[in-house]
Structure 1
Amino acid sequence: MKLFWDATKKLLPSCFSVIRKIRKKHTNEKMTMKQVTDVLKILKYINSLEPLPNTDLFPTSLYPWVTFQGDEPNCRVLETLNDAVSQGASDWLNHILENNKRPDETELARLQNLIQIIQLVRSDLQKAIEFYDKLFQETVNFPYAKSLYVFYQAKISTMCEPEVKAICKSVKKLNYSGYNSLTNGDINVDPLTEGTSLFELYLAIQRFVMLGVGLCPADSDTFHIKNFHQWFHGGVAQWLDIAVYKALQRIEKAVELDKLVHVDNTVKYSSSAVDTLTIFYQIKVFWEQLNWPNVEGSYTFIAKIIDDICRCCVFYADKMSEKVDGMGEVQDIYEKKFEVTNEWCLAINNIDYVRETLEPFTRDLGMNEVVQKMCELKSPVEAQRCQHTLENVIANAIDTVRNKIIELLEKVVSKMEPSMKRLLIEGAELCNQDSNSVHRLMMYVDNNLATLHRELNEENFNRTLEIVWNMLSDTLGEIIQTNLDKRRPPSFFDNLRKTLNLMLGSFKNPADCDNCDALKRTEQILRINGLETADLIHEVYLQLAEQFKKVKDSPYGEISVKAKFEDNTLTVEVMNARNLMAMDSNGSCDAFVRVHLLPEHKFSGIDKPKTKTHNKTQFPLFDETFVLKLSPEQRQLEDGLILFSVKDKDLLGYNNQYIGEALLHFSDIEDTTQPMSCLPQIHLQLSRPTDLTMSSDGINALEHRQGDKQAKEFLRKFKQRMG
């Protein structure tokens, strides 16, 4: 046996040499495949044997590339095979790096060099899959191609990530200042050429990652290269900027060539509106070519595209406004005034036509596919939140363009006469004036509104009237109410609350605004609905604590406790209970108290201690003390609560009956070093949630979250505790 193992040790180096130098063999030669097969059979046989004690098959002197770190002899054949595969790949990678050096150190040269290296690596992997992987797996049950991929992905990540991040960081923002302008800080650098190479590298890595998904389906999500798209964040943003830059050029040219006549008799818009939509769909084609991964965060670029399209819409609106500016100015013997013209109406209709197509266009970007991928990777709840976030971005983009239309309408109105402007801004005050000048002004307004009504579509004409009657308040109020009815996710309501605060801030004196109280009420509803479910549940408990404070005499009884903080330690003493509601047929109860710290998600690692059960008494004397160790963050929670839940234990303990509960706020607990015996008793009336609690804003918000399991489960248990 000793001779056999000595001979084996001499044979193995040549076997592993074949594995390491496998790339030097020609796969189309029969002897090559036979040699590899024989080597694998030898390794399989040796792996099935039990070596003699103290046999070291792979000494570091012969195998310096082995990663084995143990003190005992190394007889691990398959682990050494994996090391040999990795070492062979490393040798080959060093070879191609040496033979494919960069011609210079420019960013463009660095990008093209990385592309070439990745292509060669993919070629090696394809060769491994086609010729060797099945052989390795069938002979020694070793995933040859997977092992190679694991090695290569780490090396490619190490090579590419710092380079890509550095190049993306140096990318200069494009600024559009006219049709023939392209300013990026250096006229000798073509941003499109560099961006193209960056995009080619992105596609090369993307194909490499997709290859890894097929080879390593169970492990691919753990690879660092899986999140390669994050390296390109700045680069992709530049591509989107270039796409927008080209779009702005084309839009400017389309407006310049527009004759401001109807495309045909059936529509109320002109040629530039149609051209602008065509330009938008060219951006959509670019997004499809980009094929950004449908993973968490991919919607960020969809949101940017939506924002960029909104920017193009605003740019188009500005150009249309510039084109018609000056039209309609007339001078008669009495005064210089502005008359609404067909060109002005067409300009407004053009912008609105573009706005109407914004939402269906953004949905064509693949938003639903992104949401579906989020659902597969995480959960339906997370996917729903992602979808609502994107819908929020779309809604905000549409609102931005709508506001641009309103700006143009305001511009039309502002040109009619100073008195008209005052009527629009101070509508109620001017309407209350009874004078000939106001009467003449209203006649002038009626004449121009007749033109607007005839030439504008109905929606735009109604917008004109909304401007007269304080459009800002009405429009935002409608948006707020509409989205409350739609039960948007917390992120949407929080963002809408900020928008609402901006709107309130725009009023010089909110106290004089008729809608001020309603807006404040809306802000409170938005604040509640903007909380995440766990925080919202705690909000309900805080509301419940305020409600319980008002209870003076409870039919459920009273509980006496002591509590103190000492540094980060919370000590709670449950002393006794009195006049507990009888839960048993004998007119008594078998009571115990459970202590909870709220909010639960902030105290997930803290025990929920329980007292012993005191049988057949409505006046149990518990006298039990619990010491709870808190983290500094838990101790500093401003709205922490202690929930004392009193229950009646049934015979077997499977169906305990609920008696009542009490809440103690952290702010009502002393921070002291005094012993518990010196502290005063705290008497808490036991209570239960009531219909008043169920009608609170917090409960209503939870009721709206029908797809949220946490909210649904909380409401189910909460309703069971109602009095």
Structure 2
Amino acid sequence: MDIATENKQETSDNSNLQTETKEQEEISTGDLEIDIKMLPKQKKLNLFNEIQNSCVQQNIGEERKLKIASYMRETLSLSANEINENVQLKALTMLEDFFTYHDLIVAFAQHEMKQKIWEKDLSNFAYEILEIFAKSKGITDSYILYARWAAFVEIYDSEKIDLNIFTDILDRIFDDNNEEEKEVKTCMPIFRKMVTNDYTTDDEINKIFWQSTTKLFQKFAGFFAEYFMNMGDDEDENIMVKLNEMIDLILRVENLAKEQNYDITFESKLKEEVANLVTNQLQRFVNKDILSAIDDDGELCLNVLIEAVKFITSHFQEVYKQNFEIFQRLQEYSFAKNLYIIYDEKITETIKPMIEETTKSFKQESQAITVIAAIQLYEELKKFSQIGTENYHNCDLQLASYENWFPSQLIKIIKTPELISKAIASENDDSSNDFANYKRTSSAVDSMALIFTVKDFWAQFENKGKREDEALQFIVNELCRLTLDYIDKYMNKFDNDESESDTYNNRLIKMSIAVANFQFVLEELQGLLKNNLQEFNFIESDNVREIFKNTFKIIEDKMTTTIEVQTEKFMPEFQKWVMEAAADENNRDKFLDDFYNLLTNLEKNLKQKRFETAKKILWNQIIKILPQILDDAINDNESQEFFSNLKEIWLNLKEMNLPINDEEKDIVANFEESLEWYSMESSELLYRQYEHQSKKISNTASATVICSIVNNKLKIEILNARNLNALVPDSNCHSFIKFKPIHKEFNSVSSQQTKVHENSHFPLFEESFEIELTEKQRKCQNAAIYFKLKRKLPLGTVSTLGEAFLSFREIPIITDENQKPLRKELSFIKLSEDECDGVKTMTVLKYRKKSNDETTKKILIDMKYRDKAPTVDFVKKQMVNVIRTSYRKSSKLIPKLNM
């Protein structure tokens, strides 16, 4: 080709180039809504190149980007045959540049339209390009889905993760309705590798893909960890729902990796991210400035560490509480345990050397306030350590040895409460057997010795300076706290000590020893304030005095409370004790002796003030419980002996000589009245009923008797009877007198009677009787002689005309000749079952009948039937008996006939 021709050719090419450039400019600056499908193929390619170049310009506007996206769709909507491979490669390259161009991503972050642009426009635009490329290469949808995953990793390799996009990508990749996914055994690499190297092997592709996936897991682990460590995003209400979805998707990704022998465990990524966040959190508290201040200000250093451990403890607990549901879903990862383990490692790594450095120099010139800070730090570490030991037993936790980070002398002081517990636990339980000599137990002495050791420990440190009062108050609080700790633990042991071998009164004895212990530690603490605390140079401190004052009051209240509570606990046993004592005379006497010993020992063990308090509380409980015992005994039909013993117990308890308040007066009065009636012998009750009724009757039959007790013999002489017509108006009066001593001691003694005097209203008996008495019978002052005036009727029947009673108290015991026997006129009346003038005699007698008192039962039955006419059957029976008797007598007089 000659030069002219060549120049002409060049001119033609330049002209064409200028034409293309002009057309391109027109497209770039013209109306973007023209129909791109009408353009020639070359112009479409030029347009594609122009769009590619425009996308990487920093000054591209949001509206322009959307227009470009619209044109790109139109351009790439051409069939695969219309776009050659070069165009395809350019399209793919443009897409990668478009997604990974950093300035473009940053630009998106500055606009509220970011999510809309990415999710609705640009992402769809990317998918369309991938689908066109896939169709031209014969790539399945499943491979495209994995390519999308890789693209996402590539885009966000250096950007903050977006949870919405991440879930959208995973949703598209792991679609349960996508059957092709189940057949996928290899995965596509990132785009550039896929299009630039057609000879990449499957293993290389898998490796590249899972490397990208590892990156993505790292990103999401960072998001996941940050979310939990910051307690979640309150602005996104659906955050928990999305996280739950993500957990399921992540587990599926892991399972797919395991099938292809790749280890991309999410747990390891998560632990790594959490560890970084925990490190950052600790660095917020512990920095170089604090590290450099260890030698200058140990308190400052320790206080910083205290705040750090407090934050970690509360943060861990709050994270676990707020995200419990997620943690339950993440059991496979043991997220909560791993989080704790990370904290455990980081605390040990960061804080342990600082504690050792700060506390190793504790000495006399050290400020007490610094030592206090060390104790507070110890307590905070203890709280966090307990979370691990209680919940994660099989983990090798470094914090388990946190005690070794502190000086041994400090640990000994910190563990004083444990030593107090041991002193109480090792105390000899048999000490309560030596009541007479016991004032306090070994636990009280040992515990106060420990508390004085604590006092001596604090006395070695410097307590001067601007924070002197703060330090001294802490020390006094510790001494008082330890004292109260001993009291609380001793009370707890006492409350839980339910030894079956305890006697009824042993609990009160142990209570008195407990109170004596409390009194001892109170006096020791008071002496500490008065004498020994002068070495601290704060004896005039009002705050310190107030602390002691409050502690003294608490101890006083605890002593009173102990007496009240333990006395109240004692009362069920006391009630049982009284019931057993009332049931048997021997038990009663033993009870009275034991109760007297109980009061004696209480008085020995307690100060006078405490003893009076104990007596008053015990007395109030007794007043409450004895009326209840009485009511229960009446309902249970207890015997007269029970009530008699109960009365004896009450009379002895009253010797405590404690006042009865107005509210208790009526209760006690009613109790004593009822107890008086129910404790009487039946003989005495009958005699009282007789005495009460006989005073109201003036005209009645009477009899003269002479009675005495001589040489253990009861002598009774019945002289005569008078005025029987007051009881039997007709002349048919066949009378006699029957008598018998009544009392439980006389149950074996038979009745005796006079002869029958017929047809006389003034019979002259003049008969004497003697009854041999035992020693007990002779002393029965509440016994009585029961006389019955009886009438014999035709046919052999007998009726009672009246009764009279003579009390043993009236019968003299004759010991010399100058003494005279009792001569008394007995009035015979018919006892009534009606109550008279509020007298409870018959009520008690009827009750006594229910309790199977034989004497009372027989007398009341006689009273019931004495005035009733004989029945027809009874009369017939009596007539038959008379006829038989007459026949027997007459047959003896008739001689036998010889046959």
The question of a shared fold, defined as TM-score above 0.5 by the shorter chain, is answered with no
TM-score by length of 2: 0.32
Q: Kindly indicate whether structure 1 or structure 2 has the higher relative contact order, using CA contacts under 8 Å at least 6 residues apart.
A: 1
TM-score by length of 1: 0.38
Asked which structure has the greater CA Rg, the reply is 2
